């Protein structure tokens, strides 16, 4: 059974059709890339999966359940986590505090007005583990807003990992990054995919990153699925080349 199944999803904004009749199946453990020219509807598609807004028509199923109309926080508690194109973190909190909030919410403690010593120790340990995994341990007590872009992205990804998701949605994780940062983030994503056996859907523009990471690629153009296949198949696809060249022309 597939982990995520999007069936004929469409999303209209007035007369604009941002996503038109898109279907997608993601298997457990798969790393799927979604590519396409600007304005192709990639982020809108992500918003449908993560529950930012519901689809105008079509349905979304996760782990066999129809989640089409679920609130975002309910989807999160069932294992769907996401990052955003423009990094969304808690700027005036330290790296440690950023992760701590995520860990506490993940442990179902967000309503708790008090904390036992054991729970506190457990939280600290988990936060430490996540900072280690994300390469953030040395910068634990710095304010998130003071960190370079790549580190902020790592914080956002590790906050999502704190939720122990079964599906991670990454919206252009290397956007606006230099070569070294792109490399670091790519390595982090691959580590999470390989070591943690995490299923990932990834929007990305950097083709090196995609060919390095993705098992399969879905190409969107003007809200519709243009092609789907392995990286090799997509690279050879003439319609895909035309769509990209047509845009840059």
Partner 1 sequence: MTAIDKRVSTPIIWLLLLTMPYWMDAVGGYTELACRVVVLGLAAMAVNFLLGFTGVLSFGHAAYFGLGAYGAAMTIKYLFPSTALAILLGVVVGTVAAAVIGALIRKLRGTYFAMVTIAFGQVFYFIVFRWNTVTGGDDGITGWSRQPLNLGFTTIDILHDDKAFYFMVLAFFALAVGLMALLLRSPLGRTLVAIRENERRARFLGVPIERHIWLSFVISGGFAALAGALFALLSNFTDPRSLHWTLSGNFVIMAVLGGMRSFWGPLLGAAIFVVLQDYVSSHTENWMSFIGLFFVLVVTFFPRGILGIIKRRLGQ
62 is a contact residue toward partner 1 (CB under 8 A): no
Nearest-angstrom CA–CA distance, 178 and 72? 32
Name, in order, each residue with C-beta under 8 angstroms of 236's C-beta and a sequence gap of 6 or more.
none
141 is a contact residue toward partner 1 (CB under 8 A): no
Nearest-angstrom CA–CA distance, 223 and 226? 9
Residues in the chain: 249
Of 17, 21, 59, 105, the residue at the interface with partner 1 (CB under 8 A) is 105
122 is a contact residue toward partner 1 (CB under 8 A): no
Nearer to partner 1, 68 or 83 (CB): 83
What letter does residue 208 receive in the DSSP assignment?
H
Name, in order, each residue with C-beta under 8 angstroms of 65's C-beta and a sequence gap of 6 or more.
78
Stretch that binds partner 1, among 92-100, 177-185, 202-210, 223-231 (CB under 8 A): 92-100
- Please give the residues from 9 up to 28 whose contact with partner 1 meets the rule CB under 8 A: none
47 is a contact residue toward partner 1 (CB under 8 A): no
Of 38, 114, 117, 238, the residue at the interface with partner 1 (CB under 8 A) is 114
Name, in order, each residue with C-beta under 8 angstroms of 143's C-beta and a sequence gap of 6 or more.
91, 92, 93, 94
The DSSP bridge partners found for residue 80 are 167
72 is a contact residue toward partner 1 (CB under 8 A): yes
112 is a contact residue toward partner 1 (CB under 8 A): yes
* Binding residues for partner 1 (CB under 8 A): 50, 71-73, 76-77, 81-82, 84, 88-93, 97, 100-102, 104-106, 109-115, 156, 159, 163
């Amino acid at each position: 059974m597939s982990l995520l199944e999007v069936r004929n999803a469409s999303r209209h904004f007035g007369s604009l059709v941002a996503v038109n009749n898109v279907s997608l199946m993601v298997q457990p453990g798969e790393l799927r890339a979604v590519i396409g020219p600007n304005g192709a509807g990639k982020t809108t598609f992500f918003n449908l999966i993560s529950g930012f807004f519901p689809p105008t028509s079509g349905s979304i199923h996760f782990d066999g359940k129809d989640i089409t109309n679920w609130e975002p926080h309910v989807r999160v508690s069932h294992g769907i986590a996401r990052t955003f194109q423009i990094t969304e973190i808690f700027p005036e909190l330290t790296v440690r505090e950023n992760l701590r909030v995520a860990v506490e919410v993940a442990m179902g403690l967000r309503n708790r007005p008090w904390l036992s010593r054991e729970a506190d120790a457990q939280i600290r340990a988990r936060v430490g583990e996540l900072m280690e995994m994300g390469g953030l341990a040395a910068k634990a007590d710095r304010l998130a807003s003071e960190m370079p872009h790549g580190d902020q992205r790592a914080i956002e990804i590790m906050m999502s990992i704190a939720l122990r998701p079964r599906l991670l949605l990454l919206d252009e994780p290397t956007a606006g990054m230099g070569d070294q940062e792109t490399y670091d983030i790519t390595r982090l994503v691959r580590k999470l995919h390989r070591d943690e056996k995490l299923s990932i859907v990834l929007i990305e523009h950097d083709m090196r990153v995609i060919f390095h990471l993705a098992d399969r690629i879905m190409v969107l153009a003007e809200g519709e699925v243009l092609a789907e296949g392995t990286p090799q198949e997509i690279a050879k696809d003439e319609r895909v080349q035309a769509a990209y060249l047509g845009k840059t022309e």
